Amino acid sequence: MDSCSDYDIVIVGGGTAGLALASRLSEDESLQIIVLEAGEDRRTDPQVLTPGMWPLLTNSSSDWAFSTVPQEFLNKNVDMIPQGRMLGGSSGINSFLFTPTSQTGVDGWAKLGNKGWEYTSFAKAANKSYTLHSPSGAVQGTGHGPIQLRVAAPQSEPEATWTSAFLESLSTLGFASPQDPFSGHVCGGFSNPESVDPATRQRSFSANAYLGAAESRPNLTVITGATVTKILLSTSRRDGVVAEGVRFTESNGKSKMARAHKEVIICAGTFHSPRLLEVSGIGDEKLLQKLGIDVVLDNPNVGENLQNHVYTGVTFEVADDAIATLDSFFRSDPQAVGAAMQAYGVNGTGPLGSSSIIASAQLPFPGIQTEQGETEVNQLLQDLLHEPVDAAKHDSTSFAAVHAAFVKSILLSPTESSANYVFGPAYTEFEDRGNPALRAPGNHITIAAMLSHPLSRGYVHAATAAGDDRSGDHGLVINPRYLSHPLDVEVLARHIWFIEQSISRAEPLAKMLKPRASKFADLAAVREYLHRTAKGSHHYTGTCSMMPKKLGGVVDHELRVYGTVNLRICDASVVPITPRANTQAVVYGVAEMGAKLIKESLWAGCQE
């Protein structure tokens, strides 16, 4: 018989959202809270803490290392999916760019029927997650939370010169730069905010920031190496299914139970959260029956609406008389590595002190400011917006029409971002997907563009009834269906064309690059390039979407799973329309919103 312990709240997953939520809820000393995390505690690991070492964490023991099924529209390529398996989750292995989302995007969530999720409320909650430091060290902005950020940090060379060149070139094209990425309205470039503590020069993430401030509380228990295998559900109440607790397996293989007197909150991420619902009996009854799982609640929306930013880019060779790039460091040149170690040790700068993705830009559909560009967009929308993709159920929900209307509004706006650009002074391999670590000789810059609001949507589902399956992709089938919607292809193609034809040829970048012929003869060549080189970002959302069930929802506006009394989900999976760029900042905001809603709900229950 499983041993059992009792708590008020059981949190499944000690990742980005889970630890933020646990920290906020444990502020109430009357609540006994447990967090169950499958990974380990790596808060003292130099590979985690040293900013520039983040690429080494992919395919490590702290990465779930998922992969997609072969992608039909990406030449049947399989995409690797890093996801954090450690205290702090993906906030401990990501490239730590901290990019707040747009007012339009968050208001789009509210317009789906999510009461209380308007941008003003979300921004207020999100501001509780971070503290922003200026280059001088002073605190700036309205944020006042545990995640420490630096933006426009003092950069060593060559990063400073290349950042300036990129931002100035955008300005010459009519996009005033730098912009304020925290404003909710961005149409131009900016230096990347990073979750790096300027005092320690180390990664600031949910494990050392949120948990660090809360772990001494006697009402908070955190267990690592604990794999939750099932949510224990009861159908004895008339008002809905009750989550009585969870079953989990410790690292030694022993099975245990954690009973919840008030709430079970799933914070297992975009892939594991829907899978955990399904193996526990909540999901599409046809799938569950096929897997031999007893159906508790039939909701075919579970695991659907998977969204992600698809991206590719272009690399340019730097002129011989221009300032060097970071290529020698990434080729492990001893002199460059030594200089990087000194820069980090003395000033916290250089390629070891940051992600090396030194700047970003959020730009509208290229040419939308002109009459010709507006005509082109309208023609694309007329021809392709409502183009049938296939008869799969993930395109048959009412949400498809709402989503299309949202994307249309973005594409027709001269100020809303339809692509997020990232810039780095080093070579990046796009052509040879089989060797992404390839480093060409010489000096290069890379400009990539990711589609901010793709219409292509996919799914993730359990492939087995076993709650602790560790084979293959841990019992999951993941299919993002990248570029399955033809409008996505056309929009991203024009952004890549804009990189090649406009940004790289604008001053001062143009004089810093070697003369070259056009990489693409026309848009047809760009389309071919997309299908051959594009990949998915690591920004997955939507598989347990927060919206009305009739639209395709899994949780309501209080993050409660439809048909249940006390089972909630609080992580990236609830985001119904993917944010315009990196998701880290958004997930912290969702956790802060979730903590507020759950506290209010528990307090209301006590008053009844």
Tokens matching residue 524: 């047809």
Cα 162 to Cα 174, 423, 445, 506, 525: the distances in Å are: 19, 9, 9, 14, 28
Distance CA 49, CA 96 (A): 11
Tell me if the bond preceding 300 is cis, omega within 30° of 0: no
Q: Which residues contact 4 (CB under 8 A, 6 or more apart)?
A: 245, 256, 257, 258, 259
Q: What angle do CA 203, 582, 386 make, to 5 degrees?
A: 170
Radius of gyration of the chain measured on its C-alpha atoms = 23
228 is in an annotated binding site: yes
Tokens matching residue 482: 């990248």
Distance CA 50, CA 353 (A): 7
Q: 238: burial class by Cβ within 10 Å (0-12, 13-18, 19+)?
A: exposed
Tell me if the bond preceding 508 is cis, omega within 30° of 0: yes
Tokens matching residue 124: 């207020």
Distance CA 201, CA 352 (A): 10
Distance CA 597, CA 592 (A): 9
- Among 122, 100, 181, 107, CA closest to 406: 107
Q: Which amino acid is at 586?
A: V
Q: Compute φ and ψ for 262, nearest 5 degrees.
A: -120, -60
| CB-CB contact of 2 with 46 (8 Å) | no
- Give the DSSP H or E segment for 45: none
Q: Which residues contact 525 (CB under 8 A, 6 or more apart)?
A: none
Tell me if the bond preceding 158 is cis, omega within 30° of 0: yes
The count of other CB atoms within 10 Å of the CB of residue 528 is: 13
Distance CA 121, CA 155 (A): 34
Distance CA 114, CA 547 (A): 6
- Among 124, 64, 87, 85, CA closest to 220: 87
SS3 letters across 98-115: CCCCCHHHHHHHHHCCCC
- Among 582, 526, 518, CA closest to 190: 582
Tokens matching residue 318: 């730097």
Where are the strands (E) in 74-206, listed by range? 80-81, 130-133, 139-140, 147-150, 188-191, 196-197, 202-203
Return the half-sphere exposure (C-beta side, CA atoms, 13 A cut-off) of residue 374: 8
Pairing of strands 255-266, 3-12: parallel
SS3 letters across 492-509: HHHHHHHHHHCHHHCCCH
Q: Which residues are annotated as a binding site for FAD?
A: 228
Q: Which residues are annotated as a binding site?
A: 228
